[in-house]
Structure 1
Amino acid sequence: MPIQTADYLLQAHWQAPAQLHLAPNLSSWLLETDSLTARLKSKSSLFQVQLLSEAEYALPSRLQRELADAKRAVLREVILRCDQQAMIYAQSWLPLTTLQAIAPLAVLGEQPLGEFIFRHPALQRGPIELARLDSRRLGLHHECPQADIWARRSIFVLDQHPLQVVEAFLPQVYQL
């Protein structure tokens, strides 16, 4: 199911935050420019990364230009949990060229991606875009009874090597 989920996310109606009117509790999370991992860790006594899948795929053509014309990438899906409760579903496209250049990204396992990239001295982040998603299309119905959820995406560049991160915010995160 990861590639169908990736296709769904690529086809979502992504918008610049300035085009939307967000409640303060939503914008506080959706527009966070620092590490979500660090923020979640500060709000819980037990933070966990649950690795759902990690596999190599041909990079969808929609992402090839944005990710330096990469052709193949690892698609990584995780759920970030605070005190065993799912808070964020995250999906990352890590081009093979990026993984070869920045080897620690290739062996993250259940380590948080955000923890690594926000410590990287040459981190650059592209604009944040937002979309409303159907949690059922992400396979999150057992974690989130509410179908309508917000997500954000952005491109990160580490030493001229790009990767894309999409994060879908489950409603319980706004209670932290």
Structure 2
Amino acid sequence: MYAFQTTRFQTAEPKWQDYRQFAAGKPPAPTARWLLDTGSLTAHLRRVSGGHFHVEVLAQRWQLPRLSERRLLGMGDRDWGLIREVLLCCHNQPWVFARSVMPASSLVGRLARLRHLDNRPLGHLLFTDHSMARDPYEICQMPSSGLQLGISPNSEKLLWGRRSRFLLSDRPIMVSEIFLPAFTPW
């Protein structure tokens, strides 16, 4: 059963920009390698952590997505989606905060299975679906204080993030990922 209450985890809306027009300058090369990689982040995290990877579900609920998310997904102003917020953890440390928006209209037919992911990574299912297509990234930088997850709450460190729209059988799903302070591969 899904919860319809507000979540105790809050995130500020980052200012997303097309990666080719990012105004803050180019990310440093090691950062860009992770931000702009088109492969599965889940698979990469499993590899660099030596398999010490797990997903911690923070919240999964039906709600109205943010305006920028609805626009990216081509949703109407009153269209609801299933919002899933998770931490991708390596060595029991949260490395990535991920927020997925799955419009109700996308979760039909064979994609209805995405309603019941539990602690399975969405990335694995996306990258094993032969119908999957992905739009170019949007990236952002945001202060870590914009993520109220109990992680470095007093830090003003800027965090890098990326998001993109996936199409599965021509049905849109958005995934955004914010790389947290404990993320060390770059």
Same fold (TM over 0.5): yes
Greater alpha carbon shift after TM alignment, 14-23 vs 152-161: 14-23
Greater alpha carbon shift after TM alignment, 113-122 vs 165-174: 165-174
Please, what TM-score do these two structures have when normalized by structure 1? Answer: 0.88
Tell me the residue number matched to 2:16.
14
Q: Is the 8 A contact 2:100 2:176 kept in 1?
A: yes
Change (3 A) 1:3 1:131: farther
Cα deviation, residue 140, structure 1: 3.4
Change (3 A) 1:173 1:61: closer
Which one has a larger percent helix, Structure 1 or Structure 2?
A: 1
Cα deviation, residue 58, structure 1: 2.1
Cα deviation, residue 66, structure 1: 2.9
Tell me the residue number matched to 1:72.
80
Aligned residue runs from structure 1 range 81-96, under 5 A = 81-96=89-104
Aligned residue runs from structure 1 range 22-101, under 5 A = 22-44=27-49, 45-69=51-75, 71-101=79-109
Unaligned runs of 5+ in 2: 1-5
Paired residue secondary structure (2:108): helix
Report % sequence identity.
31
Aligned residue runs from structure 1 range 27-176, under 5 A = 27-44=32-49, 45-69=51-75, 71-101=79-109, 102-142=111-151, 145=155, 147-175=157-185
Tell me the residue number matched to 2:3.
none
Cα deviation, residue 136, structure 1: 1.8
Which runs of at least 4 in structure 1 moved beyond 4 Å after TM superposition? Answer: 1-4, 143-146
Please, what TM-score do these two structures have when normalized by structure 2? Answer: 0.83
Cα deviation, residue 143, structure 1: 5.3
Aligned length: 173
Unaligned runs of 5+ in 1: none
Q: Give the AA of the match of 1:149.
A: L
- CA-atom RMSD in angstroms: 2.2
Q: Is the 8 A contact 1:29 1:174 kept in 2?
A: no
Q: Give the AA of the match of 1:51.
A: V
